[in-house]
Amino acid sequence: MRRFRTSLLLVAATVIGAATPAEATAVDDPTARLVKVTTATKPTDISSRSGDTGLYIAEQDGKIVRFDTKTKARSITLDLTGRTGASGERGLLGLVFHPKGRFLYVNYTDDDGNTVVARYRMRTNKTADPASRTVLFTLEQPYANHNGGGLAFGPGERLYIGTGDGGSRDDPQRVALNRSSMLGKIVSVDPLARNQKSAAAQVWSVGLRNPWRFEFDDEMNLWVADVGQDKWEEVSLAPASAGSGRNTNFGWSAYEGFTRFNNDQTAKSHLAPVHVYEHGEDGCSISGGTKVRSEKLSALTGWYVYGDYCSGRITAIKVVGAKTTRVVRLIGDAGSVTAVRSVASGDVYVLNLGGHVSRLIALP
């Protein structure tokens, strides 16, 4: 994200910020609320495993906490505080499980501020075995911001990594559209490789500024929420029918949203976003989102729901083809939103930096 702000927008109530009727655009638009499930210290990401009653929460300082949704017990699954630490946009930024649940993957910045993606084997006691650590990907970061952080499984059962353009502003080293650089990209690796060399990192998509969160939906469409710079935040959709983002150019830094940005950069065949919003009342730093698939959220099924770190707003968009046809604000202020994520059950969770881990509930 743009940055983790020191003045946090804390949300104290258990039920958070349901949108008022005046905020809906039509009487048949979906409405929702947030119900706090648990707390964490600077939570940045959340994941789960099929058949496991736990929610696994990444904390920016380096811990992964397991919260059991049935017993309400909390435990430490993995402690990386000796390898990373919360500092601005640095720290433990992302986690995901192998689809079969055997391995945990983490994305963090090391003591030098560089990106590390590593795999750990899960044990029967629902902790990760530190001795099983295998580094699959590393990337030198030239600046302290725009480290990406997202992880997702996608086409070919490969692991996908969002890297960010390296930071500062204006893409100063012009790396986002440079295919010889791993910065400003979505990169894929072999998740079961023995080491970094055999993981065989490959550039999947180019032209991204800071894809803090992205996902492949059930149809393998690629959704990317890319944090903007001066004026525009954007959501892009690379459909499965066109390769799920393979060799897709998302345009940065030739474009920010639909607007020309660095005139010395060209992206003639880039994929334009399906949704943008201007900096201001709606926010200034998109925290990513998810395409809803849960039957418990039937009114939102098929909608893409995202949050903004600056405004705390949770918004749903309905995308038909390559066009957004409806935009609905669901939550007025959910705090400093760091993630909006689906877990294995299909439930959607919203995290904020103030420590709340909340579930999205559809209103009748």
Domain-wise residue ranges, the chain: 41-284
pLDDT of 200 strictly over 90: yes
pLDDT digits (tens, 9 = 90+) for 78-116: 999 999 999 999 999 999 999 999 999 999 999 999 999
Encoding tokens for residue 170?
């204006």
> Per residue in 216-231, is it b (16+ CB within 10 Å) or e — as a string?
bbeebbbbbbbbbbee
pLDDT band per the 50, 70, 90 thresholds, residue 4: very low
In single-letter form, the type of residue at position 146 comes to: H
Q: pLDDT digit string (tens) for 284-317?
A: 999 999 999 998 999 999 999 999 999 999 999 9
Q: Given CA atoms 211, 326, 237, 291 in this order, what sign does their dihedral have? A: positive
CA angle 42, 275, 16 (to 5 degrees): 40
Confidence of residue 155 (pLDDT cuts 50, 70, 90): very high
What CATH fold (topology level) applies to the domain 41-284?
Neuraminidase (2.120.10)
**Alpha helix segments (H runs only) across the chain:** 196-199
Taking the C-alpha atoms of 165, 168, 171 and 177 in order, what is their torsion angle to the nearest 10 degrees?
-10
SS3 of residue 214 by DSSP: strand
Q: Is the peptide bond before 188 cis (omega within 30 degrees of 0)?
A: no
CA 202, 207, 211, 216 torsion-angle sign:
negative
